[in-house]
Amino acid sequence: MKEKLKLFFTDYGLFRCPYSKDRDDENRRYKIMLHTTTTVAVVSAMMCLLNIITGKSGLMMATFFFAVFNAVFALVLKLKNGIGVHSYIIFIAGVMVLFGNFLITGGTEGFSPIWIIILPTAAYMAVGLKMGMFYSLMVLLEIIFFLYIPAGKQLLQYSYSDSFTMRFPLVYFASCAIGFFIEANREFIYGYTNILKNRYAYAMNFDVLTGLHNRTWFNSYVEKIESSAVTGQKIGVLIIDIDSFKSINDTYGHLVGDEVLKQTAMVLRKNSPSDVTRWGGEEFITITDGLSKEELSEYAEKIRLAVSELNVNGVSGQLTVSIGLHVVEWEKSGSVTELIRVADMNLNEAKRNGKNRVFSN
């Protein structure tokens, strides 16, 4: 079950966007926050130089400190390789201080406050809908305070026109709405994509009917075993086949046959010493590590007896399995394919000797 959940939630990288390799949305937001703060640091540094050239000393100091603030913040994010609530608080506090300065001073001929319009979209992308709405609202209240509240208006050092005072909050609100709908749409697509991705991951590694592993997973597992097995290590193979399965389908119908497969798979999951794969129509296979021939034979007998006790839709006493097993001490020139071949031969021998039995050589 743990392996199934691990595969179910694994990111298989279906998309090619810069953030497609992230395993969760928090990593995506961390990267956006890191890239945003880095970009803002560079832009602020450029604005600082521009303010030096144009002789705007007050604005130069504001952009200088904001550039340093974002550069340090980006470095901390990089070193910590993650973000927390405190990161959001620090970032928005710095932004609100700078934008407050822009509103109070007006910057260059009242132009600098216009930078505030980019905040909502950036906030939604960096911190998500809920936190983004909170931060956008905080800045909106800041705008209202300085432009409409008498106590705030007294702090202004720049005289804004009535037209600006009336229109700017509306433009900012429109930016908030656009940013919200863009992020809401992105989160919906992200969530739906994850659902499809998880379904794809499950279908790639598990049999839909029985819930056991499928051949695709098994082939990868074989490669891992062959690359990691060491000389002298005991490697075993069990191949389990439901006896007279075609007769069950013909007599009781395919729906009952499907139920037989599912019930048999449950027995195998419960009694097998390792992960089981649906090998063919009514055949199952498992590879073991470290078990002797005697130990693996005990597991095989346990499986055989448990299946014979099943009662599926009236198919009582008719459900049996034949099992072929083979165990070797691994050699450098060994091959799992050869192990499977011998175990399959032993399965055929069990069938020839009357079925409902375990055979090994």
User: pLDDT-based confidence at 8, cuts 50/70/90?
Assistant: very low
Q: What is the pLDDT of residues 138-184, one digit of tens each?
A: 888 888 999 999 998 998 988 888 888 999 999 999 999 988 998 88
Q: Which has the closest alpha carbon to 309: 267, 247, 250?
A: 267
Rounded CA-CA distance 70/78 in Å is 12
Separate counts of helices (H) and strands (E) for the chain: 12, 5
User: pLDDT-based confidence at 185, cuts 50/70/90?
Assistant: confident
CB atoms within 10 A of CB 122: 20
The arithmetic mean of pLDDT across residues 112-118, rounded, is: 82
* Between residues 325 and 13, the one the model is more confident about: 325
Q: What is the pLDDT of residue 280?
A: 87
Identify the CATH class of 215-360.
Answer: alpha beta
Q: What is the pLDDT of residue 36?
A: 75
Give 348-352's long-range contacts (Cβ < 8 A, gap of 24+). Answer: 348/324, 349/324, 350/322, 350/323, 350/324, 351/241, 351/243, 351/322
Place of tokens 């005072």: 165
Q: What is the pLDDT of residues 200-246, one digit of tens each?
A: 888 889 998 999 999 999 999 999 999 888 999 999 999 999 999 99
The arithmetic mean of pLDDT across residues 35-39, rounded, is: 80
Contact (CB, 8 A) for 67 and 48:
yes
DSSP state of 113: G
332 pLDDT higher than 50:
yes
The answer to which of 10-24, 76-90, 186-200 has the lowest mean pLDDT is 10-24
Domain locations in the chain as residue ranges = 2-202, 215-360
* Between residues 45 and 7, the one the model is more confident about: 45
Contact (CB, 8 A) for 123 and 84:
no
Place of tokens 């900012």: 172
Contact (CB, 8 A) for 180 and 125:
no
Report H helices in 108-214: 119-148, 150-153, 162-205
pTM above 0.75, yes or no: no
